[in-house]
Structure 1
Amino acid sequence: MAQLVYLKENIKYFYQKHSEYAEPALKLLFSLVMLCLVQSMFQYNETVNRPWLFLIVSAAQAFLPLSFCFYSAACLILLNLWQVSVEIFAVFLLFFVICYLLFVRVDGRHAFIIILTPILFYLKMEYFLPVLLGMTAGFSGILPMAAGILIYFFSLYTKDASALLTTTENLDPGIGMSRIASLMVIDRKLLVILVTFCLVVFVSAILYQMFHEKAWMFAIIIGNISLAVLLLFGRLIFELDYTIWRVFLEIVLAMGVATVVQFFKGIGDFSRIEKVTFEDDEYIYFVKAVPKIKAAQEERNVTDIVAPEEEQAETEETDTEQKTGDGMNEF
């Protein structure tokens, strides 16, 4: 355990030391991957499907706040949807405006959650999400996550609507959006995913915030077990097409990832709990402080051994006499 703590502290120290270069590089990489995956979900406008264009936008976003990824992704989606239908473009534009007013404007982290959620769904890694959100974002991550889930399922519905619009002649106005709305109403998988993920985030956040030594462990184990049970119930009730082995494999991996995240966030040392009470004019505060487990860096003391001044003077006189004697011998 001590070696792991030393490793964590060294990694954090290395990152903090090189954060001036590491943060822009990570932002550039995330933005580039994000734009490429978003374009893969909405492949309707080949004009904007240019890797060099994505690289330029990512390079600019490397020096901007992470919330700007939301704006670039929204613009890319809207440029693609313009080629499908004007009404679909208008509905998505309204959806992004609502997300901005409710989430992004309030907290920049919400923008990251909205974009990360459909990406994880597209990569088939969605079961990593709810417990991690409960541990990191808490209750505030529920609605941005739901918005991200809607974006992913809308991308699936838009493919169907786009195929309908390109193969049918003499279409009525608004038929594309009507097709998306009808698919959303009859899709039981969307309902199960939304309810399950929101409940798991809620449960994980409650367990994680408990004042208990193993609260983080309860949140990881109970949250992921709840996720598996709710997904299985949804599969049995609505006869959905979940792959059972993939659900269990991802949940086991999600437990490991959540444990690593908690390890880097810090695990409390409950043997050194401190309780403090103080007050002001209106309230009395009772504080329970649990220090994090940290490994102290080894201090290396370098001692310079210097001879005393008298000994140093005698040594210099001896060297001078020896050099003089050697000179006389040579003469």
Structure 2
Amino acid sequence: MTVFIELREKIKAFYARYDIYILPVVKFALAMVIFIGINNMLGYLTILNNLFVVAVLALICAILPLNGTVVIGVFMIVLHCFGVGLEVGGFALLMYLLMLLLYFRFVPGDALALLMSPLAFAFNIPGTVPLALGLLRGPVSAISGAFGVVSWYFVKMVDGIAEMKSIGDASLLDVLKEMLDRLVNNKAMLLSVIACVAVVLVAATIRKLCATYAWEIAIAAGCGVYVLITLLGGLFMKVDTQLLVLIVGIAGAAVISLILEFFVYSVDYAGSQYLQFEDDEYYYYVKAIPKRLGSRSDYDRSDGDENGEQPEEFERIYGVGREKERTAPPVQDIAAAPDVPEDAAEKFQNVDFTSKLEESLKDL
């Protein structure tokens, strides 16, 4: 375990040192994956299917905040919907405009969750996003989780609408009515939204408890709630659920959540301490849990240089090190200063400085 902890600290230190270069590359790669996925699922507008256009948009996202990637991704989806039909594009524009207004009003910091939701559904691990939101954010983040689910099912629904328009001569009202019916009466989407919201609420509530292994319990409870709601909801709402895919997906979500916990909240419960304080009005009972930092036995005195100095790697990982000896600059010995030449002293010995000063004042 110590090896992994030290590796984690080295990764954190490496990221802290080079984040100015790593972050734009990661945002560019994420934007490329998201935009290519949108084009593969929709692809009704030819100009957006160009890889050069996608690369340019991803480069723009590399210098923008993550919310910029969200807005550009929504813009691409709406444009593809306009490629299907004017009514489809108008419906998508109104729906996403409402979602963005609510998103920027309540949960503007959940951009990564919105971007990762389609990837989680594509890899059959949809429970990862609500678990991460419950562990890292809070109950309000259930809004962003629900928006990610709705967006995924809406993009899948557009294909059916495009087939309907290509087969028959449907009027504008017929297309709008069909889209609204498919969106509102989509039981699979409704079940996924309920499961997502429930997982976020359960995980966020348990994670904040002052209990041992609260994060692990929150992950287990979130996985159990997701499976239970999906299975029971599938039975009552008559939604087809593949049990094997569900189990494998929730297991993958649990593993990813544990990895996330290792990097964000890694503590040593065996070293917990209970402290008590008091003042004039209250008694304070505090539970202190130490963080898991790498073992320092590998950086003992014997590993230093011949003077016992700790290596630079120790200071970089742990942020501490031996205090360097600082010596004050040498004080100049006045006695050792060179004497004034005798001829200079004799030169100024007979000068009347008072008369010189009076003459200069008369000139003024």
2:166 paired with 1:163:
no
CA distance in 2, matches of 1:288, 1:32: 45
Q: Retained in 1: the 8 A contact 2:113–2:129?
A: no
Cα distance change on mapping 1:93 and 1:185 into 2, 3 Å: closer
The equivalent of 1:204 in structure 2 is 203
Q: Retained in 1: the 8 A contact 2:124–2:245?
A: no
The equivalent of 2:19 in structure 1 is 19
Aligned pairs for 1:165-314 (under 5 A) are: 165-169=165-169, 171-270=170-269, 271-273=271-273, 275=275, 288-295=287-294, 298=299, 300-303=303-306
Query: For residue 74 of structure 1, what is the amino acid of its counterpart?
Result: V
CA distance in 2, matches of 1:284, 1:32: 55
Query: For residue 242 of structure 1, what is the amino acid of its counterpart?
Result: T
The equivalent of 2:115 in structure 1 is 115
CA distance in 1, matches of 2:94, 2:260: 35
More displaced 10-residue stretch of structure 1: 32-41 or 172-181: 172-181
Aligned pairs for 1:60-209 (under 5 A) are: 60-104=60-104, 107-169=107-169, 171-209=170-208
**Alpha-carbon shift at residue 210 of structure 1 (Å):** 0.8
Q: Retained in 1: the 8 A contact 2:278–2:284?
A: yes
CA distance in 2, matches of 1:145, 1:260: 20
CA distance in 1, matches of 2:284, 2:36: 50
The equivalent of 2:9 in structure 1 is 9
**Alpha-carbon shift at residue 165 of structure 1 (Å):** 1.3
Query: For residue 241 of structure 1, what is the amino acid of its counterpart?
Result: D
Cα distance change on mapping 1:232 and 1:61 into 2, 3 Å: same
**Alpha-carbon shift at residue 122 of structure 1 (Å):** 3.1
CA distance in 1, matches of 2:206, 2:105: 28
SS of residue paired to 2:291: coil
Cα RMSD of the aligned pairs, angstroms, is 2.5
Larger Rg, first or second structure (1 or 2): 2
Cα distance change on mapping 1:304 and 1:183 into 2, 3 Å: closer
Query: For residue 160 of structure 1, what is the amino acid of its counterpart?
Result: G
Cα distance change on mapping 1:225 and 1:272 into 2, 3 Å: closer
Where has structure 1 moved over 4 Å in runs of 4 or more?
274-279, 283-289
Q: Retained in 1: the 8 A contact 2:142–2:200?
A: yes
The equivalent of 1:46 in structure 2 is 46
Identity among equivalent pairs (%)? 21
**Alpha-carbon shift at residue 117 of structure 1 (Å):** 1.5
CA distance in 2, matches of 1:285, 1:32: 51
Q: Retained in 2: the 8 A contact 1:154–1:180?
A: no
CA distance in 1, matches of 2:156, 2:179: 9
Query: For residue 172 of structure 2, what is the amino acid of its counterpart?
Result: P
SS of residue paired to 1:62: helix
Q: Retained in 1: the 8 A contact 2:276–2:283?
A: no
CA distance in 2, matches of 1:43, 1:278: 66
CA distance in 2, matches of 1:94, 1:285: 52
CA distance in 2, matches of 1:181, 1:128: 28
CA distance in 1, matches of 2:149, 2:235: 22
**Alpha-carbon shift at residue 303 of structure 1 (Å):** 2.5
**Alpha-carbon shift at residue 192 of structure 1 (Å):** 1.4
Cα distance change on mapping 1:106 and 1:231 into 2, 3 Å: closer
The equivalent of 1:319 in structure 2 is none
Q: Retained in 1: the 8 A contact 2:35–2:54?
A: yes
**Alpha-carbon shift at residue 69 of structure 1 (Å):** 0.6
Q: Deviations over 1:64-112 (max 9, x none)?
A: 1111111110111111111122232222222222233222355543233
More displaced 10-residue stretch of structure 1: 145-154 or 265-274: 265-274
Q: Deviations over 1:42-69 (max 9, x none)?
A: 2211221111111111112112111111
**Alpha-carbon shift at residue 31 of structure 1 (Å):** 0.7
Q: Retained in 2: the 8 A contact 1:38–1:119?
A: no
SS of residue paired to 1:109: coil
More displaced 10-residue stretch of structure 1: 188-197 or 29-38: 188-197
Q: Retained in 1: the 8 A contact 2:274–2:285?
A: no
Cα distance change on mapping 1:176 and 1:211 into 2, 3 Å: same
**Alpha-carbon shift at residue 124 of structure 1 (Å):** 2.5
Q: Deviations over 1:218-240 (max 9, x none)?
A: 01112112211221112222332
Q: Retained in 2: the 8 A contact 1:131–1:220?
A: yes
SS of residue paired to 2:83: coil
More displaced 10-residue stretch of structure 1: 190-199 or 265-274: 265-274
Cα distance change on mapping 1:206 and 1:106 into 2, 3 Å: closer
The equivalent of 1:30 in structure 2 is 30
Residue correspondences, number: 303
The equivalent of 1:318 in structure 2 is none
SS of residue paired to 1:210: coil
Q: Retained in 1: the 8 A contact 2:107–2:140?
A: no
CA distance in 2, matches of 1:272, 1:225: 28
CA distance in 2, matches of 1:125, 1:153: 15
